[in-house]
Amino acid sequence: MRIYGEPVSRLIEEFSRLPGIGGKSAQRLAFYIINLPEERAEALAGAILSAKRNVKYCGVCSSLTDSDPCVICANVKRDAKIIMVVEDPRDMAAYERTREYYGLYHVLHGAISPMHGIGPNDLTIAALLKRLQSAQTDEVIIATNPNVEGEATALYIAKILKPTGIKVTRIAHGVPVGGDLEFVDEVTLSRALEGRREI
Amino acid sequence: MRIYGEPVSRLIEEFSRLPGIGGKSAQRLAFYIINLPEERAEALAGAILSAKRNVKYCGVCSSLTDSDPCVICANVKRDAKIIMVVEDPRDMAAYERTREYYGLYHVLHGAISPMHGIGPNDLTIAALLKRLQSAQTDEVIIATNPNVEGEATALYIAKILKPTGIKVTRIAHGVPVGGDLEFVDEVTLSRALEGRREI
């Protein structure tokens, strides 16, 4: 698309590399940027750099944060004796929106998936075990996604936590099987939390 | 979404302000950025700033360009006696992809639309008239969109160019090549019939 000049072509190319953005959308976004006031374009570019540079993983729960430990791990009002294991920070955000969970989290950053070459060592399971050794934990709630990978991960974690004697529960199958936690409504998420069972 | 920390929340907010990107997509994009290598994030941010800062309008055809005049207006091999009037630089790009048009362009940056408060003075029609005074032009091809606004704009331009004596043409309406007659609307079918040619 040389006819627009190099800066526009480059922006279109950069946008089209983002997930879920095709060629037409990339073009539309690029033209939108060009017509923005300069300070708005600078705000967007700055937000990209700032997020990339200042976001790190929480040393306790492995969630994304700009402070270490993250605001949830640092919150003394939360029940540190309960840890909910989730695949992704977005799943944590989804449970936070229910306003019914006051324990801590542990973010795995994925699920065991032999199909995609993801094994237990690619997740933060070792960090979870280490965390459980030093912390006084009553219960580990496994809230991985209700799909094949999530279930496999839940069973795997339940198995390796068995010797510790810590109560391990799984959120109830009130969540639709085959779905993605991130898109489940708050009421369903709350029901699933209430109906959790020991595994 | 304070739990992700300020930089991530700000990036999600900036993304969700872009056209066609909702809250979920913005969140997905933000997480994608955070997991990018730093140089890729910098490339995206740099492309945004560069496009915003270095892109200007061609002094001749009003298209977007980083050089003035743009590569098309500056190309001496193109037929400067024919000017195609389009609404948007993207329409120009669409005609360039045909590789069958070798004249120049004039970009209106919109179409006359009383509904949206866009009148002839909001477009580059005055610049077109000025351009025609100094250039030796044989034909002006009006390639505005085949909708109400595009047709109104075509008629308006044809009317004000009448006194100049320059030949003014409109791209043909008809059935799209590769389409299925069954799904073509009645107006288009009528236009295609009217515009039939001997073969």
pLDDT the model gives residue B154? 92
> Quick one: tokens of A86?
């989730």
Q: Are residues B68 and B15 in the same domain?
A: no
Q: Give the pLDDT confidence of B156-172 residue by residue, as tens digits.
A: 999 999 999 999 998 88
Q: Which of B5, B14, B65 sits opposite A43 (nearest CB)?
A: B14
Model's pTM, two decimal places? 0.70
Q: How close, in Å, is residue A163 to chain B by CA atoms?
A: 32
Between CA B80 and CA B77 the distance in angstroms is 9
Q: Assign residue A112 the CATH number of its domain.
A: 3.40.1360.10
| Structure confidence at residue A49 as a pLDDT band (50, 70, 90) | very high
Burial of B133 (0-12, 13-18, 19+ CB in 10 A): exposed
Q: Which residues of A touch B11 (CB under 8 A)?
A: 47-48, 50-51
Helix (H, G, I), strand (E, B) or coil at A177: coil
Neighbours of B48 (CB within 10 A): 27
pLDDT the model gives residue B123? 95
Q: Are residues A38 and A106 in the same domain?
A: no
Q: Which residues of B touch A47 (CB under 8 A)?
A: 7, 10-11, 13-14
Q: Are residues B87 and B172 in the same domain?
A: yes
* Test mutation, B50, B55, B56, B72, chain A, max A CBs within 10 A: B55
pLDDT the model gives residue A18? 93
State the total domains in chain A. 2
Between CA B28 and CA B45 the distance in angstroms is 17
Collect all residues with Cβ–Cβ distance below 8 Å to B164 and sequence separation of at least 6: B132
For residue A15, give the chain B residue with the closest CA.
Answer: B44
Q: Give the pLDDT confidence of A114-130 residue by residue, as tens digits.
A: 999 999 999 999 999 99
Q: Are residues B147 and B82 in the same domain?
A: yes
pLDDT the model gives residue B173? 81
Residue B1 lies in a domain: no
Q: Give the pLDDT confidence of A55-110 residue by residue, as tens digits.
A: 888 999 999 888 888 899 999 999 999 999 999 988 898 888 888 899 999 999 99
Q: Are residues B135 and B83 in the same domain?
A: yes
Between CA A136 and CA B172 the distance in angstroms is 77
| Structure confidence at residue A3 as a pLDDT band (50, 70, 90) | confident
Q: Are residues B111 and B158 in the same domain?
A: yes
Q: Are residues A69 and A157 in the same domain?
A: yes
Q: Are residues B77 and B127 in the same domain?
A: yes
Cβ proximity of A36 and A48 under 8 Å = no
Contact between B49 and A42 using a beta-carbon 8 Å cutoff: yes
Residue B59 lies in a domain: no
Helix (H, G, I), strand (E, B) or coil at A170: strand
Residue A105 pairs in a beta bridge with: A84
Q: Are residues B19 and B68 in the same domain?
A: no
Q: Assign residue B30 the CATH number of its domain.
A: 1.10.8.420
pLDDT the model gives residue A184? 78
B155 pLDDT above the threshold of 90: yes
B60 pLDDT above the threshold of 90: yes
Residue B33 lies in a domain: yes
A1 pLDDT above the threshold of 60: no
Contact between B4 and A183 using a beta-carbon 8 Å cutoff: no
Residue A1 lies in a domain: no
Nearest of B146, B144, B148 to residue B184 by alpha carbon: B146
Most distant CA atoms of chain A, gap in Å = 67
pLDDT the model gives residue B177? 75
| Structure confidence at residue A139 as a pLDDT band (50, 70, 90) | very high
pLDDT the model gives residue A147? 83
Nearest of A127, A112, A30 to residue B54 by alpha carbon: A30
Contact between B28 and A20 using a beta-carbon 8 Å cutoff: yes
Q: Distance from first CA to last CA of chain A, Å, rounded? A: 57
pLDDT the model gives residue A197? 67
Which residue in this structure is represented by tokens 């250039």?
B135
Q: Domain residues for A106? A: 64-198
Q: Give the pLDDT confidence of B69-124 residue by residue, as tens digits.
A: 899 999 999 999 999 999 988 888 888 888 888 899 999 999 999 999 999 999 99
Q: Count residue pairs from A and B with Cβ separation < 8 A.
A: 172
Element housing A105 (H / E): strand A103-107
Contact between B72 and A42 using a beta-carbon 8 Å cutoff: no
Collect all residues with Cβ–Cβ distance below 8 Å to B107 and sequence separation of at least 6: B58, B61, B62, B63, B86, B87, B88, B89, B92, B124
Cβ proximity of A152 and A159 under 8 Å = no
Q: Are residues A124 and A41 in the same domain?
A: no
Q: What is each CA distance from B115 to B61, B125, B153, in whole angstroms?
A: 26, 19, 13
Between CA B144 and CA A151 the distance in angstroms is 56
DSSP string for B144-156: --SSHHHHHHHHH
Residue B18 lies in a domain: yes
Q: Which residues of A touch B7 (CB under 8 A)?
A: 47, 50-51, 53-55, 66
Chain center to CA of A125: 15
Q: Give the pLDDT confidence of A174-184 residue by residue, as tens digits.
A: 777 677 777 77
